[in-house]
């Protein structure tokens, strides 16, 4: 019996190692003593350790970001387009996550709330945040109806709010800071997450007017990783804002050969000029970041 158990254990270790090898570690850490972090402990499926995992899901021309804390709390920021529903649901389930403690719909555009109704129907939801703005699309109405059917009361996202997630994880909302904007994108809930010494900023589609307000409010914008606003459009990532965020890595969530010509070349040039390493979902697929609060590792599918 013992022999069989030992054999199964070895087999399991092999399988886990092979699975771990399917991803490439890129954009090496800012610390040279980190080679040992390339192992199976980096996946939440194996919850050992003190790692925070962030998955920038490859949902094409859309946003969907999953965060899993060291004590296994989960947060989803946006839910891609409608057709991304099964992909997102399966990704979350495969990680063994059954409850989304926090869900944020940054703003009610299709490419951010497309599959939100499906997400709400599928998972147990802790709290749900969205900006206080309405639109008359079927997708938005469907999301509201599904929230109601599941007795979930949306909390209106606003700059200055704090969100509770896992132990040691601080989450601040930095936007929206006004109750009225001309552009629906500027209602985007902007999220700053810190864990240990590392900070992550998720801009949704917030544009320069919202970036300007975040600067005016004097929020701490510094982040090691910036999820670039509005799919790398020139309407976001103003100079002063980028200077204050001062990221080491930039994540651009964008579809291959999208109709909008995104990301804009100006944005790419601006990031390159500052020596910021860019990861893009159209080129790198799903981008998986792991941090223990001291160092950051970035993994992309080959």
User: Which residues of the shown chain bind Zn ion in the complex (CB under 5 A)?
Assistant: 111, 205
Min dist CB 112 to Zn ion, Å, is 6
205/297 with CB nearer Zn ion: 205
The two tokens of residue 200 are 């992550």
110/293 with CB nearer Zn ion: 110
CA 210 to chain centre: 19
SS3 state at 8 = helix
111/172 with CB nearer Zn ion: 111
Determine how β-strand 74-77 pairs with β-strand 225-227: unpaired
111/203 with CB nearer Zn ion: 111
Min dist CB 188 to Zn ion, Å, is 9
SS3 state at 17 = helix
Tell whether omega for the bond before 176 is within 30 degrees of 0, i.e. cis. Answer: yes
Cα atoms found within 13 Å of the Cα of residue 213, Cβ hemisphere only: 21
The two tokens of residue 227 are 């999820």
Contact 92, 125 (CB under 8 A): no
287/295 with CB nearer Zn ion: 287
Min dist CB 244 to Zn ion, Å, is 23
Q: What are phi and psi of 50, to 5 degrees?
A: -125, 40
Pairwise CA distance, residues 257 & 177, whole Å: 33
Min dist CB 177 to Zn ion, Å, is 19
Min dist CB 159 to Zn ion, Å, is 19
140/299 with CB nearer Zn ion: 140
Min dist CB 175 to Zn ion, Å, is 15
The two tokens of residue 269 are 């040039």
Q: What are phi and psi of 107, to 5 degrees?
A: -165, 160
80/247 with CB nearer Zn ion: 80
25/109 with CB nearer Zn ion: 109
Residue 235 exposed, middle or buried by CB count within 10 Å (0-12, 13-18, 19+): buried
The residues, any chain, with a CB within 8 Å of residue 170's CB and separated by 6 or more, are: 162, 193, 194, 195
Question: Would you state the torsion angle of the CA atoms of residues 210, 215, 216, 217, taken in this order, to the nearest 10 degrees?
Answer: 90
Min dist CB 160 to Zn ion, Å, is 24
Min dist CB 185 to Zn ion, Å, is 7
């Amino acid at each position: 019996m013992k022999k069989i158990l030992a054999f199964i254990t070895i087999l399991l270790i092999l399988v886990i190692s092979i699975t771990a090898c399917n991803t490439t570690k890129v954009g090496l850490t800012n610390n040279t003593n980190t080679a040992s972090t390339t192992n199976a402990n980096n996946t939440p499926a194996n919850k050992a350790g003190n790692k925070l995992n962030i998955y920038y899901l490859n949902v094409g021309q859309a946003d969907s970001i999953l965060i899993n804390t060291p004590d296994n709390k989960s947060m989803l920021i946006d839910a891609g387009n409608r057709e991304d529903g099964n992909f997102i649901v399966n990704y979350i389930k495969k990680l063994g996550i059954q409850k989304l403690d926090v869900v944020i719909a940054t703003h009610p555009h299709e490419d951010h709330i497309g599959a939100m109704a499906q997400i709400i129907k599928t998972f147990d939801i802790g709290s749900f945040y969205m900006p206080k703005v309405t639109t008359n699309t079927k997708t938005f109405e469907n999301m509201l109806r599904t929230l109601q059917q599941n007795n979930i009361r949306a909390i209106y996202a606003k700059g200055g709010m704090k969100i509770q997630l896992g132990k040691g994880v601080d989450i601040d909302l930095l936007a929206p800071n006004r109750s009225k904007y001309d552009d629906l994108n500027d209602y985007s809930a902007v999220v700053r997450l810190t864990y240990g010494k590392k900070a992550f900023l998720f801009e949704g589609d917030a544009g320069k007017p919202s970036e300007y307000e975040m600067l005016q409010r004097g929020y701490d914008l510094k982040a090691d990783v910036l999820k670039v606003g509005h799919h790398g459009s020139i309407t976001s990532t103003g100079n002063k804002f980028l200077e204050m965020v001062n990221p080491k890595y930039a994540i651009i969530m964008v579809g291959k050969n999208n109709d909008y010509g995104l990301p804009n070349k100006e944005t790419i040039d601006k990031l390159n000029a500052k020596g910021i390493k860019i990861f893009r979902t159209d080129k790198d697929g799903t981008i998986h970041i792991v941090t223990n609060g001291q160092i950051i590792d970035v993994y992309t599918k080959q």
